[in-house]
């Protein structure tokens, strides 16, 4: 059984971090971990209340890197009302603007996510962390798929755009780590989910 | 028989502290469900607790799913609902049981039956309890209301079948007013309870409120722990309770106690429960309703019998047959309790929340004085919940001795920072009307309000 989605409440910890708070008593099953980037509308896991699962999503105005997660690495964590489920550091993202709507479907109908402007592409938040997405994964609207360094500032590449479906499968990440791309270059080659 | 190791307390304040005390003596770990407003309260300090939600009761102490989930995830096998909040909610009782947690109270079906007026009354009458004269169940229409009112004799009271808290209730003093009263009571009842059914009772003015404490196990054994007189009331809120009720004659007492036991057995009651009666001008006890829970004033009966009612509730819920019979219960002396509320009695009982800077009851060590409270120096009475902060109970060999001891205990209370009803209690206890037992539920004896 699953209930309605629930937008989490955020509580500022300091100027550069916010906690996302448990909406009630239940068992929290996170789907994001430390180091991952999250942004508004993205699902971060579910809460199980008497067998009913509710999707938990990031509220408006919160975006950044997960710096702490309740229960360490546990997959299911019993929580109480107001527990800090995730701590989101906005510091890492302070100078990272959101870039999106850089997508297109070409004539043959193959989907791709293209660079919104020219810059240097990075697939991971920092060199020793896992990439935002890898081939074979499903991306959904609002999800961060990479960083683009433009004039010494980092911009988040967010999967969104009118011509793209709600979800798509990543078939290939086209540029290599640190490659310079120009506006319009394909970054992700995508496959539509319905074809599978 | 089940042995409980962890018990979830789905309540707050004084009753939560009271339940935890018995858990301690039984070697059971209590887990408190608290709202955000109570998370730092002294009675949960050093205890296990789960924050259910914000201060607002609808999102914490009344949030059924949150509470049951909290009990399940803290591995509690039994839940005590206390009084008020969800204590008499059949839906909550069945939700709790459905998730494998034993609910302390009667079966949900019995609770459901007692929550509606007519089925409860029919069951009680069948067991031999006297009812307040009136309609035989729900009224069909205004004409029938007029007819029954005439036969019963004015004044009468029109009441909502699903009602409570004085809503959907109208006093009718003559036949010409029946139609208007019927229509407005019905409209209010539909608006409040989505049920327009009404019934009618004779209005008994100036009666005394008497109730009987019962205890039943799961196997049909029922005993009573005597009666309590709770006639010192303000706006239907009890202020002082005592046992025995000396206004009652012995024949009426014996007969009603026996009938109450039969009635509880007949409806399949389980656990601690209380039948409430109105003592009319002819000295007869007339059944009003049965409360399917522990009552605030239960210590009065505990002081007279030496039985711990919370312990009995827990053991009964675990499937233990009653371990004593009616003959084993000795009702000793006289016990009296007063409820101390955070209200200002000299200012129309205005609520008085705030920080209690200093709190002490000097007579707390006296073995014939019992103080049930969840407050201490520095405690902040939150503005979100009811105003009960403490109960003081005194025992004596007779009524005067108990009253004198209670007065002394009340005088030994030091409470700085907020107003309490203590001055009112002292005035009542020393008043002639109260000492002579000459008063009724309409006014507080010895106190002009």
Among the partner residues A25, A27, A78, nearest to B66 by beta-carbon distance: A25
Gap between the Cα atoms of B63 and B55, Å rounded: 12
Overall average pLDDT of the A87-96 stretch: 66
Residue B31 in contact with partner chain A when CB distance is under 8 A = no
Question: Does residue A83 share a domain with residue A42?
Answer: yes
Angle between helices B298-305 and B309-317 (to 10 degrees): 100
Q: Which residue of A has its CA nearest to B73?
A: A78
Q: Is residue A36 part of a domain?
A: yes
To the nearest 10°, the Cα dihedral for B53, B57, B58, B61?
70
Which tokens hold the place of B420?
Answer: 């309490």
Beta carbons of A81 and B53 less than 8 Å apart: yes
Q: Which residues neighbour B382 within 8 Å (Cβ) at sequence distance 6 or greater? A: B37, B38, B55, B353
The pLDDT value recorded for residue A77 is 96
Question: Does residue A182 share a domain with residue A150?
Answer: yes
Question: Does residue A105 share a domain with residue A84?
Answer: no
Could you say which of A73, A92, A111 is where a domain stops? Answer: A92
To the nearest whole number, what is the mean pLDDT of chain A? 83
**What's the CATH number for B133-202?**
3.30.1490.20
Confidence check: pLDDT of A97 > 60: no
Q: Is residue A1 part of a domain?
A: no
Residues with pLDDT less than 50, chain B: none
Question: Does residue A63 share a domain with residue A120?
Answer: no
Question: Does residue A172 share a domain with residue A109?
Answer: yes
Question: Does residue A88 share a domain with residue A22?
Answer: yes
Beta carbons of A82 and B51 less than 8 Å apart: yes
Among the partner residues A27, A81, A82, nearest to B73 by beta-carbon distance: A27
Distance of CA B223 to CAs B82, B104, B258, B312, Å?
A: 21, 18, 9, 12
Question: Does residue A178 share a domain with residue A106?
Answer: yes
| pTM attached to this predicted model | 0.81
**Cβ contacts (< 8 Å) between B65 and chain A: which residues?**
49-50, 52
Beta carbons of A81 and B74 less than 8 Å apart: no
Among the partner residues B51, B73, B95, nearest to A78 by beta-carbon distance: B73
Would you call B64 a catalytic residue per the annotation? no
Q: Is residue A55 part of a domain?
A: yes
> From the candidates B293, B304, B370, B399, which is the catalytic residue?
B293
| B52: closest CA of chain A, how far (Å) | 5
Residue B10 in contact with partner chain A when CB distance is under 8 A = no
Could you say which of A92, A116, A148 is where a domain stops? Answer: A92
Residue B60 in contact with partner chain A when CB distance is under 8 A = yes
Share of chain B above pLDDT 70, in %: 99
| CATH number of the domain where residue A165 is located | 2.40.50.100
Beta carbons of A50 and B36 less than 8 Å apart: no
Gap between the Cα atoms of A25 and A27, Å rounded: 7
Question: Does residue A82 share a domain with residue A37?
Answer: yes
Among the partner residues A49, A82, A83, nearest to B69 by beta-carbon distance: A49
Q: Which residue of A has its CA nearest to B71?
A: A25
**Cβ contacts (< 8 Å) between B95 and chain A: which residues?**
50
Confidence check: pLDDT of A101 > 60: no
CATH domain B6-104 topology: Rossmann fold (3.40.50)
**Cβ contacts (< 8 Å) between B72 and chain A: which residues?**
50
Task: Determine which of B53, B61, B73 to mutate to test the interface with A (most A C-beta atoms within 10 Å).
Answer: B73
- How many distinct structural domains can be found in chain A? 2
Residue B261 in contact with partner chain A when CB distance is under 8 A = no
Residue closest to B73 by CA, chosen among A80, A20, A44:
A80
Among the partner residues A24, A27, A78, nearest to B53 by beta-carbon distance: A24
Q: Is residue A23 part of a domain?
A: yes
The pLDDT value recorded for residue A102 is 47
SS3 state at B385? coil
**pLDDT band at residue A99 using 50, 70 and 90 as cut-offs:** low
CATH domain B208-435 topology: D-amino Acid Aminotransferase; Chain A, domain 1 (3.30.470)
Tokens 């970054």 — which residue?
Answer: A187
Size of chain A, expressed as the number of residues it contains? 196
Q: Would the CA dihedral through B100, B105, B110, B115 be positive or negative?
A: negative
The pLDDT value recorded for residue B166 is 66
Q: Phi then psi for B181, rounded to 5 degrees?
A: -65, -40
Question: Does residue A86 share a domain with residue A46?
Answer: yes
Domain boundaries, chain B: 6-104, 133-202, 208-435
Gap between the Cα atoms of B244 and B230, Å rounded: 10
Confidence check: pLDDT of A92 > 60: no
Residue B40 in contact with partner chain A when CB distance is under 8 A = no
Task: Determine which of A23, A29, A48, A80 to mutate to test the interface with B (most B C-beta atoms within 10 Å).
Answer: A80
Residue B52 in contact with partner chain A when CB distance is under 8 A = yes
ipTM, interface predicted TM-score of the complex: 0.79
| B9: closest CA of chain A, how far (Å) | 15
Among the partner residues A25, A82, A83, nearest to B69 by beta-carbon distance: A25
Residue A60 in contact with partner chain B when CB distance is under 8 A = no
pLDDT 10s digits, A151-187: 767 778 888 777 778 888 898 898 988 888 888 888 8
The pLDDT value recorded for residue B165 is 61
Could you say which of A92, A123, A147 is where a domain stops? Answer: A92
Question: Does residue A87 share a domain with residue A107?
Answer: no
The pLDDT value recorded for residue B431 is 96
| A13: closest CA of chain B, how far (Å) | 18
Question: Does residue A109 share a domain with residue A74?
Answer: no
For residue A69, what are the domain limits?
6-92
Question: Does residue A73 share a domain with residue A34?
Answer: yes
Q: Which helix (H) or strand (E) holds B164?
A: none
The pLDDT value recorded for residue A94 is 44
| B379: closest CA of chain A, how far (Å) | 22
């Amino acid at each position: 059984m699953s209930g309605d989605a629930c937008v989490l409440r955020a509580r500022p910890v300091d100027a550069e971090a916010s906690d996302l708070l448990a909406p009630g008593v239940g068992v929290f099953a996170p789907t994001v971990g430390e180091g991952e980037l999250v942004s508004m509308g993205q699902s971060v896991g579910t809460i199980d209340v008497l067998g009913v699962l509710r999707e938990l999503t990031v509220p408006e105005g919160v975006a950044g890197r997960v710096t702490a997660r309740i229960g360490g690495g546990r997959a299911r964590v019993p929580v109480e009302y107001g527990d800090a489920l995730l701590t989101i550091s906005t510091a890492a993202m302070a100078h990272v603007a959101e870039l999106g709507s850089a997508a297109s479907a070409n004539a043959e109908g193959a989907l791709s996510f293209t660079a919104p402007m020219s810059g240097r592409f990075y697939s991971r938040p920092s060199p020793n962390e896992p990439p935002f997405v890898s081939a074979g994964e499903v991306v959904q609207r609002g999800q961060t798929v990479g960083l683009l360094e433009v004039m010494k500032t980092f911009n988040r590449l967010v999967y969104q755009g009118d011509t793209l479906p709600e979800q798509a499968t990543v078939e290939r990440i086209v540029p290599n780590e640190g490659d310079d791309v120009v506006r319009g270059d394909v970054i992700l080659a995508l496959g539509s989910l319905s074809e599978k | 028989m089940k042995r409980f190791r962890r018990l979830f307390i789905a309540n707050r304040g004084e009753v939560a502290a009271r339940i935890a005390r018995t858990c301690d003596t039984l070697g059971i770990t209590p887990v408190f469900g608290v709202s955000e407003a109570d998370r730092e309260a002294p009675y949960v300090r050093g205890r296990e607790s789960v924050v259910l939600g914000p201060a607002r009761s609808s999102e914490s102490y009344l949030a059924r799913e949150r509470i049951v989930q909290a009990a399940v995830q803290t591995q509690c096998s039994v839940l005590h609902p206390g009084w008020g909040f969800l204590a008499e909610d059949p839906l909550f009782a069945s939700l709790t049981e459905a998730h494998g947690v034993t609910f302390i109270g009667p079966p949900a079906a019995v609770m459901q039956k007692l929550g509606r007026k007519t089925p409860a009354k029919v069951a009680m009458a069948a067991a031999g309890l006297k009812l307040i004269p009136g309609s035989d169940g729900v009224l069909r229409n205004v004409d029938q209301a007029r007819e029954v009112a005439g036969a019963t004799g004015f004044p009468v009271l029109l009441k909502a079948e699903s009602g409570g808290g004085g809503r959907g209730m109208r006093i009718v003093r003559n036949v010409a007013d029946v139609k208007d009263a019927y229509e407005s009571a019905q409209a209010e009842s539909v608006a409040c309870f989505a049920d327009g059914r009404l019934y009618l009772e004779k209005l008994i003015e100036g009666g005394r409120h008497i109730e009987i404490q019962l205890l039943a196990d799961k196997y049909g054994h029922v005993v009573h722990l005597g009666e309590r007189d709770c006639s010192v009331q303000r706006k239907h809120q009890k202020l002082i309770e005592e046992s025995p009720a000396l206004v009652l004659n012995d024949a009426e007492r014996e007969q009603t106690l026996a009938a109450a036991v039969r009635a509880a057995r007949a409806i399949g009651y389980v656990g601690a429960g209380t039948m409430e009666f109105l003592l009319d001008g002819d000295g007869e006890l007339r059944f009003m309703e049965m409360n399917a829970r522990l009552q605030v004033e239960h210590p009065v009966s505990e002081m007279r019998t030496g039985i711990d009612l919370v312990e009995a509730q827990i053991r009964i819920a675990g499937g233990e047959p009653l371990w004593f019979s009616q003959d084993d219960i000795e009702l000793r002396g006289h016990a009296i309790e007063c409820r101390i509320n955070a209200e200002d009695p000299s200012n129309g009982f205005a609520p008085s929340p705030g920080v209690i800077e200093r709190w002490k009851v000097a007579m707390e060590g006296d073995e014939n004085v019992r103080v049930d409270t969840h407050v201490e120096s520095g405690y902040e009475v939150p503005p979100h919940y009811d105003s009960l902060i403490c109960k003081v109970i005194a025992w004596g060999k007779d009524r005067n001795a108990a009253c004198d001891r209670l007065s002394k205990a009340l005088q030994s209370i030091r409470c700085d920072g907020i107003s309490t009803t203590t001055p009112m209690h002292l005035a009542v206890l020393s008043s002639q009307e109260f000492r002579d037992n000459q008063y009724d539920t309409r006014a507080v004896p010895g106190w002009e309000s």
